[in-house]
Amino acid sequence: MIRTAALGTLLALTALTTPASAQNFPEAGRQLSMLTPFPPGSTSDILPRLLVPHLSKSLGINVIVENRPGANGSLGAARVAGQPADGYSLLMATTGVLAINPWVYDKLSYDPAKDFTPVINAAITPNLLVAHPDLPANNLKELIALARKEPGKLTFASAGNGSTSHLCGESLKATANVDLVHVPYQGPAPAIQDVLAGRVSLMCDNFSNVINHVKSGSLKAIVLTSNEKTPLAPEIPTSAEEGYPELLAGNWYSFVAPAGTPAPVVERLNKDIAAALAKPEVTERLNSLGLKVVADSPEAFKKFIAEESARMKVLVEKSGAKIN
């Protein structure tokens, strides 16, 4: 009887300390916005759109995807950081947004550690260094030799200053001691288009963004920046196999909410997003793009962010990649 009374008291206190909006989440008639801070066509746009129909059904409200690109995701991140902490605004956050931007920007319009509540890490993918087919180098050894022979001639595109594609290129320059010229874009899609057209020599972008161009012959693969091969293209050598195990780059695609979002709301969002990621058609589509579903807990994701941020700080310092 005493335990039952104590439990009742605890539940009553919990109800008193939980905002009414959290208790009623999701409210009928409301709309959930999933903002991706990159242009349409990239993985960070494809992934949330795959989830929309499943989340709309499970939550019982309208779910939309917004695109607000710019400054390696900083513009969109700052916008979501300023939204009400009620669970109706989510940010599709990448490695760059949460773990790289703090170290490459002298001034950042948001604080990843203070402005967001981790919800879930959805999926991860390695980077793939690709080149235009006309480039006279077919592997990492030949590429490095070419770059040393013609310093400053080869160019590499990126999704923007401070993106994983930028950091990957800078890491290659530092580890192989070569001179490459960085050409930043606003997002991966326009960057890839210029590599396809031969206006830029190279790009070290997410595997999922470039592998179809490799399979079609429009681009050629140089090296996978990972210690593990991918089953989608086992013939592509890894950076470890090529003698540069420190050349590691990749991206993770996650969801965060504004800081202060109530724990029950975060748990509900985590549960529903994880369930959507587990749908066979979603998992198969992501796997076909080279992504591995993670779907971890908010607590595990928070720890992962801290670990990745510390690792990226070291990589940024080694590469010298800074943005004033």
Asked if 289 contacts 257 with a C-beta cutoff of 8 angstroms, the reply is no
Both structure tokens of 266: 């975060």
Amino acid identity of 269? L
Q: Where residue 312 falls among pLDDT bands split at 50, 70, 90? A: confident
Smallest CA-to-CA distance from 111 within 85, 140, 143, 78 is with 78
The Cα–Cα gap between 118 and 252 comes to 13
Q: State how far Cα 145 lies from the chain centre.
A: 31
As a whole number of angstroms, the distance between CA 204 and CA 280 comes to: 29
pLDDT above 70 as % of the chain: 93
The pLDDT of residue 19 is 59
Distance (Å, whole) CA 163 – CA 74: 11
d(CA 185, CA 157): 7
CB-CB contact of 269 with 255 (8 Å): yes
For 134, phi and psi rounded to 5 degrees? -80, -10
pLDDT over 50 at 7, yes or no: no
Return d(Cα 246, Cα 240) in angstroms, integer: 8
Burial class for 313, CB neighbours closer than 10 Å (0-12, 13-18, 19+): middle
Contact indicator for 261, 302 with CB cutoff of 8 Å: no
- Burial bucket for residue 104 (CB in 10 Å: 0-12, 13-18, 19+): buried
**In contact, 317 and 234? CB cutoff 8 Å:** no
List pLDDT tens digits, range 59-74. 999 999 999 998 878 9
Taking the C-alpha atoms of residue 131 and residue 210, their distance in angstroms, rounded to an integer, is 10
Greater confidence, 289 or 198? 198
Query: Which domains are seen in the chain, by residue range?
Result: 2-124+252-319 (3.40.190.150), 126-225 (3.40.190.10)
Q: What is the pLDDT of residues 192-214, one digit of tens each?
A: 999 999 999 999 998 988 999 99
Predicted confidence (pLDDT) at residue 1 exceeds the cutoff of 90? no
3-state secondary structure of 118: strand
Residue 8 confidence (pLDDT) above 60: no
| pLDDT tens sequence across 113-164 | 999 999 999 999 889 999 999 999 999 999 999 999 999 999 999 987 778 8
